[in-house]
Amino acid sequence: MSGLDWPGLMRAGFSGLGLRPEEFWRLTPAELALMLGEAAATPPLTRARLSELAAAWPDQVKGSGDDRSGRA
């Protein structure tokens, strides 16, 4: 199993996008995702966004005694 929903992708390509079979099968998964609008929904993780997430969700809160390494 490849993990891809081929019937769903084929429906989206043929019915939704109006692709002919030979056009559909020439596309890469990335190209198909872009055509379906999925690439725009999930932007790549940038260094700035990673810093924002790390600040919002730190691994440890300083001074909390939350040492996950097992050392005291």
The pLDDT value given to residue 72: 52
The pLDDT value given to residue 20: 97
CB 32 within 8 A of CB 13: yes
The pLDDT value given to residue 1: 44
Confidence (pTM) = 0.50
- Residue segments in the chain with a per-residue pLDDT below the cut of 70: 1-2, 39-42, 61-72
The pLDDT value given to residue 2: 60
The pLDDT value given to residue 22: 97
CB 36 within 8 A of CB 17: yes
CB 37 within 8 A of CB 60: no
For 33, residues 6+ apart whose C-beta sits below 8 A from its C-beta are: 39
The pLDDT value given to residue 65: 62
Cα separation, 26 vs 55, in Å, equals 43
